[in-house]
Amino acid sequence: MLSFLAFAALASVGFKAHAQSVTSYPPLNGGKSVSISPSQFKFTDTKIRGVDGKAKIESVDVYSDPTTGQHTTFSKFSPGFKSKLHSHSHDYYAVVIKGELENYEPGVKPVKLLPGSYFYQRARKAHITECVSKEGCLIFVAQSTQMDVNIPPLEK
C-alpha cells in the first residue's frame, strides 16, 4: 500500500509565514487576530496527479502543519483533475470556494458541489475527488489531525 503525506507536505513547504501553530501558546502574533488576503497565498505543488498523470493539486496551509496535526488548508485542483480511488486515515471537512467538484464513493451517484457547498469525508472510506469545471476548483479543508492519502484505500 502506498501511503503518503504528500497532500499535507505541500502546505508545510509553502506558507509558513502566516500560518498559526496549534501548539503555540500564547497564540502567534501576540494573540492578535489574523487576516490573510488570497494575494498572500503561495500555493505549492503537492506532487499528487490525477488519473491522467497531468492534472494536479496545489495547496497552502493557513493554520498549522497538516503533516503533524490539526490544520486548515486551501487546495487548488487543475481543471479536469480526477483522483485515483483513495482514502484518508482521518475524517475531514471541506467547503468548495471555486469551481464544480465531485467527491464520491464508488457506486454512489456524484453530487455537483458548487461554490458554498460543504462536504464531510469519513476516514478510511474509499472515494474519488474530481474537479469537473473548466476553470479549476478551490476548496477549504479543516481537519483535527494530520492529512494523508492512501492508495489503495484503507477500506473499500
Q: Render pLDDT for 95-143 as a digit per residue (tens, 0 to 9).
A: 999 999 999 999 999 999 999 999 999 999 999 999 999 999 999 999 9
Tell me if 51 is assigned to some domain.
Answer: yes
By DSSP bridging, strand 44-49 and strand 118-121 are unpaired
- Measured between its terminal Cα atoms, the distance across the chain in Å is 13
Write out the residue range of the structural domain in which residue 95 sits.
Answer: 2-28+35-145
Residue 14: pLDDT above 50?
no
Tell me if 7 is assigned to some domain.
Answer: yes
The per-residue pLDDT for 154 is 87
Tell me if 91 is assigned to some domain.
Answer: yes
Short-list 96, 156, 153, CA closest to 130: 96
User: pTM to 2 decimals?
Assistant: 0.79
CA distances from 127 to 14, 57, 90, 154 (A): 27, 16, 13, 11
Tell me if 67 is assigned to some domain.
Answer: yes
State the total domains in the chain.
1
The per-residue pLDDT for 8 is 37
Tell me if 100 is assigned to some domain.
Answer: yes
Query: What CATH code is carried by the domain that includes residue 71?
Result: 2.60.120.10
3-class DSSP assignment, residue 13: helix
d(CA 29, CA 132): 39
* pLDDT: which is higher, 30 or 81: 81
**Least confident among 28-32, 39-43, 142-146:** 28-32
Q: Render pLDDT for 38-91 as a digit per residue (tens, 0 to 9).
A: 999 999 999 999 999 999 999 998 877 777 778 899 999 999 999 999 999 999
Q: What is the DSSP string of 114-150?
A: -TT-EEEE-TT--BEEEE-STT-EEEEEEESS---EE
Q: Which three cell numbers stand for residue 108?
A: 454512489
Short-list 151, 154, 144, CA closest to 73: 144
Tell me if 131 is assigned to some domain.
Answer: yes
Tell me if 154 is assigned to some domain.
Answer: no
The per-residue pLDDT for 1 is 38
Tell me if 118 is assigned to some domain.
Answer: yes
